[in-house]
Amino acid sequence: MRTIGYGIGLLMVVFGLIWIGQGSGYFPYPASSFMIAQKIWMLWGAILATAGIVVMVVISRLRRRG
């Protein structure tokens, strides 16, 4: 179960970084994406990546206790 939680946290970080890249225009793929150069997606990406880091930290602390 902890491995699944850690994997979900890692995916959240990866998707958050992709959203930041698309929102800033540094990662314009796919070219027809509605997210490209839209600043709001930078914010949502940062929130998602931060939440993913929190999930991974919580999971790693649970691993130490158990």
Q: What is the chain's pLDDT, residue by residue, as a tens digit (66 residues)? A: 788 999 999 999 999 999 999 999 888 888 888 888 899 999 999 999 999 999 999 998 886 665
In the chain, where do the E strands start and end? none
- Total number of domains constituting the chain: 1
Q: Which domain holds residue 33?
A: 2-65
pTM for the model: 0.85
Give yes or no for a contact between 37 and 19, defined as CB atoms under 8 angstroms apart. Answer: no
CA distance 8 to 3: 9
Q: Which residues of 41-55 are buried (b: 16+ CB within 10 A; e: fewer)?
A: bbebbeebbeebeeb
